[in-house]
Structure 1
Amino acid sequence: MICFIENMLLRIHISPTNIRRVELPQRPQSVDQLKSFLSEKCQLENGDFLIQFEDPDFNNELCNLNDINELPAEKATLKLLWEEVCPSQGFAGDSNSVSSLDTASMPSCHSGDQSPESSVLRNLRSAEKWPSTFNIPTFPLDVELRLRKANEVYQQTNKPLNVSREMKSQILDKIVQAIFDIKAYPDAYEIQSVASSLVQKHPCLTETGKRTGWDGWVMSIKFKLGNYRAKLKEAGCSELSVNCKRKSCEGMVERPYMKKPKRAEVNFLPDHPEGHTEDSLEEVRLTMINEMKKKKMDLTVIHRKMQETFSLRRKEVVKIQPLVEEIRERWPGLFLKEEICMEFSRICNVDLFRQFNESIDKYTAPLLKLYRKRRDSLGAQMKTLLDKLDDQVTDIVTHRKRVALEGLPLFLRENSTCFLKMCLDTDPEDHSTRDVRIGILTVVEDDVGTSASLPNVINHAIILEEAIVLQDIPDLPAAFAYLFGFLYALNMEYPKELKYTFEVIQKVFMDLGGTCSARVQSLKSKLL
């Protein structure tokens, strides 16, 4: 949520998937007054929450906001933490009773009293990405006792524990469950990080004669995780049952060869929330359609319905893979600017615009430096881009970002002719979108200025399957961000002619995914 308080820009995290915009009438004089403003504007049912802010003096680590003067002068990021009051958990003053929730209302101790949004979010993974250090779970008490004593012996004698089959099975069961809570299909290096963390926490599990001391655990985790996925698939887990390899897979008549998540989607295909069926979610969708038809739409209601129907929408998008126009007809809310960002957040648990803007700010100067260094070898189009940049005298920051993005395909030796399109504001729409499956359209003013080197740009639009699906976008970086969000929300493949460009956006700009291709890794090394 972004709000302006006397030229102060605040970004409020109510939950990983609940971010709104609101303009406060005046600068709060105290933290309590700020809480009152937020409760009123965001319609929070309970005001018992803590506010944390990213402290620039400590590398933007979160700190509790105790004094309104602690906020940075111009821009700050805030996060709300809610206090649970439950007899079984202690009093609100107990530090163990404070937790970050997925809903804007205070939870009850009884599951039947949970808000609809909270019940919806329980079926989604909350981790943003694979942790740098994997947290080994707690094992059954008897296993923990054995490991504790064996660790003491190992420190004195370097003698590893002789792990029985039953004990090893108990250890692996806990580990694979913890892995699946983060990611259904971890990469090889991620499984290696789990095995390494296991041996670091419990040295007695070190394998003698192995190169690393945990090679055998890597193989055991892989096999155990495969067996665990098979059990979940048999139980009806949507994310796993969709991965069919044969044409005989039941229910996969439309697209027999389905693929597992491959672009770091955290919530690729979640199951329906508890208490919901396809019929009940369809009723929610129809209610949302009726809200969209109103002259004055309630964006809060639309957001809540979009959140509630996320699993139904992903089932249609991933399994059936309908045309964009069909999705647009059934899910018009998905094509609102706010909901594109929210859908990306539901899928990846990453703030689309924040991550993209921070990256483009970070990499614009290094990219332009690389372009100028190889100017002569990158062709006439790159020279023209850099010449226009040198001629620019106004809004130089925005223009530098634009050149950095336009030059990226050229630097990667890819053809962006059918992707970055330009038209006059008087041109017919079908003429500009013809034969364009995925693209960004820059609309320039039809006057004498268009013949010059720097035409007057009016706005930008997103083209998908020869139709404009989003327009009135102020600049090219915003258009790139919205398009990237669409590709995830609609589960569309990257354009083949620009696969390296979008890999850079995914793995370098957005920090999503694992190992880079050789070409992208080379660019990443140069940028860093």
Structure 2
Amino acid sequence: MLLRVHISPTNIRRVELPERPASVDHLKSFLSETLQLKSGFSLQFEDPDFNNELCNLNDIKELPAPKATLKVLWEASPPLDSTDTSSVSSLDTASMTSCQNDVQSPESSVSRNLRSVEQWPSTFNIPAFSLDVELRLRKANEIYQQTKKPLNVPRDMKCEILDKIVQAIFEIKAYPDAYEVQSVASALVQKHPCLAEPGKRTGWDGWVMSIKFKLGNYRAKLREAGCSEVSVNTKRKSHEGVTATIKKPKRAEVNFLPDHPEGQTDDSLEEVRLIMIDEMKKKRIDSALIQQKMQETFSLRRKEVVEIQPLVEEIRERWPALFLKDEICMEFFRISNVDLLEKFNMSLEKYTTPLLKLYRKRTDAFGEEMKTLLDKLDEQVSDITTHRKITALKGLPIFLREKPACFLKMCLDTDPEDHSTKGVKIGILTVVEDDVAAVTSLPTVINLAIILEEAIVLQDITDLPAAFAYLFGLLYALNMEYPKELKYTFEVIQKIFMDLGGTCSARVQSLKSKLC
């Protein structure tokens, strides 16, 4: 039996079992021994019956055969004195997923100021209230079932209900969208029917307004307490009057602007940053040390990126490790709790065929640009799968009636670098071999690079899909806006490919409906 074991965003292992394990405990023991994993973890598997969504593995009979993908979930942070690489990688996952454990360590201290959810839940989990409130609700629900008479909620009871709910909301998201607040009110009335409001269209419209108002008050209290995520939106006085630069999460960032870990300050984290700078100057970089220090300084980095909004070149000087491929993935995971490459590649694999069918079905509607793109795909004789994915991505902006020419750049390996990057704020550069034979055949790609603010920030990328993924991760890491000429293309990547965010624009929703 063949397994793909996801230990952390940067540590994914291939494991072959001689036979199917007798139980989940036997499987965990085998993985612990084979991969040198510490104890104290559970397993999830990609369930093919639910479109490969993750489910907890409680019975070994649930595990698909002959191949399966597993994800390790840590129940507590592994010891910090472990030196093997798998433990270091596992530690990073632990710091993201075990925010409520009581392990006293630097990593667990860092994790406490980060949210561990991935996105807004499909069904909001209404928290438990105090015993007296729960008893009153239970009795009122019984009466409602018999008489359909709703409860006249006392002021003190309503205050507690709203306090508990807004705290639960803030643990997931500081600034929920309107439809998300509506989902909370709906879940509340569904769990406690006695709270339905008579005469209202839905029965919970009034609760929506109450939750919004209470959430605003709760944010005000947190702002006074110094919570970074809401303090950044405080109105400030200037010579032109009262102004406020709104810096809210706009792309489903889970950890948009976290507070510093307990006991840390700007000065102490600056010292850690300087340690990383020295390490990055070495010929052989200690990647485990860089990963640990990047995790530790995440709050300081986000503070600079979100509040100061420096130029990309300034960020490269202060945080050179942020532009390493592994750290781009890790930073995206810290911000969104989503594995960048795994999620992107899985979605691209899923949508390539439907996208190509749409392109071919409507080729005439998009002129020569789409036809030429599909003709080049038909000319390929090797590595067809990769070329199909590349074509799906290149055709996306054409299908969405945007202009990819200013984004997808191409140059010869003999061209000067500044000539290829001039005027490009955000783009992907394909470097092809300067060969006369390429005039009559397909050019040979020798390098792929990412351009930000007229400078190459990452190169030697394997293929165009990987370049798209790394660029998307960098836009999150640097808090950069999508290019205006390709806003729908990146919205598709965000909301369809990466499943981040809520309501789609009409154009993207139309594509989503066709794909699904």
Q: Compute the TM-score of the two structures, normalised by the length of structure 1.
A: 0.87
Deviation at 1:221, TM superposition (A): 0.5
Counterpart position of 2:217? 227
Alpha-carbon spacing, 1:68–1:12, altered in 2? closer, same or farther (3 Å): farther
Give the counterpart of 2:508 among 504, 511, 520: 520
User: Is the CA contact (8 Å cut-off) linking 1:317 and 1:490 kept in structure 2?
Assistant: yes
Q: State the alpha-carbon separation in 2 of the partners of residues 239 and 106 from structure 1.
A: 20
Matched, 1:127 2:107: no
Q: State the alpha-carbon separation in 2 of the partners of residues 526 and 459 from structure 1.
A: 34
Amino acid in the other structure paired with 1:291:
E
Deviation at 1:398, TM superposition (A): 0.9
User: Is the CA contact (8 Å cut-off) linking 2:359 and 2:399 kept in structure 1?
Assistant: yes
Alpha-carbon spacing, 1:489–1:248, altered in 2? closer, same or farther (3 Å): same
User: Is the CA contact (8 Å cut-off) linking 1:53 and 1:65 kept in structure 2?
Assistant: no
Partner SS for 2:442: coil
Give the counterpart of 1:417 among 394, 405, 414: 405
Give the share of equivalent positions with the same residue, in percent: 71
Alpha-carbon spacing, 1:449–1:121, altered in 2? closer, same or farther (3 Å): farther
Amino acid in the other structure paired with 1:47:
S
User: Is the CA contact (8 Å cut-off) linking 2:7 and 2:13 kept in structure 1?
Assistant: no
Amino acid in the other structure paired with 1:208:
P
| 1:172-227 deviation per Cα after TM superposition (whole angstroms, max 9, x unaligned) | 00000000000011111111111111011111101110111111111111111111
User: Is the CA contact (8 Å cut-off) linking 2:389 and 2:465 kept in structure 1?
Assistant: yes
Q: Compute the TM-score of the two structures, normalised by the length of structure 2.
A: 0.89
Q: State the alpha-carbon separation in 1 of the partners of residues 142 and 44 from structure 2.
A: 40
Q: State the alpha-carbon separation in 1 of the partners of residues 125 and 96 from structure 2.
A: 29
Counterpart position of 1:507? 495
Counterpart position of 1:445? 433
Counterpart position of 1:196? 186
Give the counterpart of 1:34 among 31, 35, 38: 31
Deviation at 1:34, TM superposition (A): 2.7
| 1:472-512 deviation per Cα after TM superposition (whole angstroms, max 9, x unaligned) | 11111110000000000000011111111111111111111
Deviation at 1:146, TM superposition (A): 0.7
Deviation at 1:513, TM superposition (A): 1.1
Q: State the alpha-carbon separation in 1 of the partners of residues 61 and 294 from structure 2.
A: 34
Give the counterpart of 1:182 among 172, 179, 196: 172
Alpha-carbon spacing, 1:499–1:245, altered in 2? closer, same or farther (3 Å): farther
Counterpart position of 1:88? none
Partner SS for 1:265: coil
Alpha-carbon spacing, 1:469–1:308, altered in 2? closer, same or farther (3 Å): same
Amino acid in the other structure paired with 1:215:
D
Q: State the alpha-carbon separation in 1 of the partners of residues 145 and 219 from structure 2.
A: 36
Deviation at 1:65, TM superposition (A): 8.1
Counterpart position of 1:173? 163
User: Is the CA contact (8 Å cut-off) linking 2:140 and 2:150 kept in structure 1?
Assistant: yes
Partner SS for 1:403: helix
User: Is the CA contact (8 Å cut-off) linking 1:107 and 1:115 kept in structure 2?
Assistant: no
Amino acid in the other structure paired with 2:70:
T
Deviation at 1:371, TM superposition (A): 1.4
Q: State the alpha-carbon separation in 1 of the partners of residues 416 and 477 from structure 2.
A: 28
Matched, 1:47 2:39: yes
Counterpart position of 1:160? 150
Alpha-carbon spacing, 1:474–1:517, altered in 2? closer, same or farther (3 Å): same
Alpha-carbon spacing, 1:397–1:305, altered in 2? closer, same or farther (3 Å): same
Once the two structures are superposed, the pairs formed by residues 338-417 of structure 1 within 5 Å of their partners are: 338-417=326-405
Q: State the alpha-carbon separation in 2 of the partners of residues 282 and 428 from structure 1.
A: 37
Deviation at 1:106, TM superposition (A): 13
Counterpart position of 2:298? 310
Deviation at 1:47, TM superposition (A): 3.1
User: Is the CA contact (8 Å cut-off) linking 1:459 and 1:473 kept in structure 2?
Assistant: yes
Deviation at 1:423, TM superposition (A): 1.1
Counterpart position of 2:140? 150
Q: State the alpha-carbon separation in 1 of the partners of residues 228 and 119 from structure 2.
A: 21
Partner SS for 2:199: coil
User: Is the CA contact (8 Å cut-off) linking 2:75 and 2:94 kept in structure 1?
Assistant: no
Counterpart position of 2:316? 328
Alpha-carbon spacing, 1:418–1:108, altered in 2? closer, same or farther (3 Å): closer
User: Is the CA contact (8 Å cut-off) linking 1:344 and 1:485 kept in structure 2?
Assistant: yes
Gaps of 5+ in 2: 20-25, 79-90
Pairwise CA RMSD: 2.9
Alpha-carbon spacing, 1:48–1:413, altered in 2? closer, same or farther (3 Å): closer
Counterpart position of 1:206? 196
Amino acid in the other structure paired with 1:274:
E
User: Is the CA contact (8 Å cut-off) linking 1:82 and 1:101 kept in structure 2?
Assistant: no
Tell me how many residue pairs correspond in the alignment. 494
Partner SS for 2:153: coil
Partner SS for 2:405: coil
Alpha-carbon spacing, 1:65–1:383, altered in 2? closer, same or farther (3 Å): same
Q: State the alpha-carbon separation in 2 of the partners of residues 105 and 168 from structure 1.
A: 34
Counterpart position of 2:94? 103
Deviation at 1:458, TM superposition (A): 1.9
Deviation at 1:9, TM superposition (A): 6.0
